[in-house]
């Protein structure tokens, strides 16, 4: 009975795990090149900022402060990963499609 309980518990843990691994470093580089030319400091005045072209609303919703393009690269990367874990490639639909990220 204990073996069965352990097996069921293990299956429940697998079901709760993400269906796929986080995107690779290469995937993020492709996305950044498409979104911003891989420029973490990009501010073109279009209301989107940084390497991942965050809107301020999205950035603040992820706990970001200030402007995204002024944040450290590691901070932008972490916020992009957090957003991806919430919504997949949807925030970057055009570039994700162009780069084959699905």
Q: What pLDDT was estimated at residue 102?
A: 81
Mean pLDDT of the 65-73 span: 98
- What is the reported pTM? 0.80
Contact 80, 52 (CB under 8 A): yes
pLDDT digits (tens, 9 = 90+) for 77-96: 999 999 999 999 999 999 99
Confidence of residue 27 (pLDDT cuts 50, 70, 90): very high
What is the residue-averaged pLDDT of the chain? 88
DSSP result, 27-87: HHHHHHHHHHTT-TT-B-SSS-BTTTTB-HHHHHHTT--S-GGGS-HHHHHHHHHHHHHHH
């Amino acid at each position: 009975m204990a073996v069965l309980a352990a097996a069921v518990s293990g299956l429940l843990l697998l079901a709760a795990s993400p269906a796929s691994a986080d995107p690779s470093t290469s995937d993020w580089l492709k996305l950044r090149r498409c979104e911003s030319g891989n420029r973490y400091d990009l501010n073109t005045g279009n209301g989107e900022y940084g390497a991942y072209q965050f809107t301020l609303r999205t950035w603040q919703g992820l706990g970001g402060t200030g402007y995204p393009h002024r944040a450290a690269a590691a901070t932008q990367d972490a916020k992009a990963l957090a957003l991806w874990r919430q919504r997949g490639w949807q925030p970057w639909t055009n570039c994700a499609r162009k780069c084959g990220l699905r």
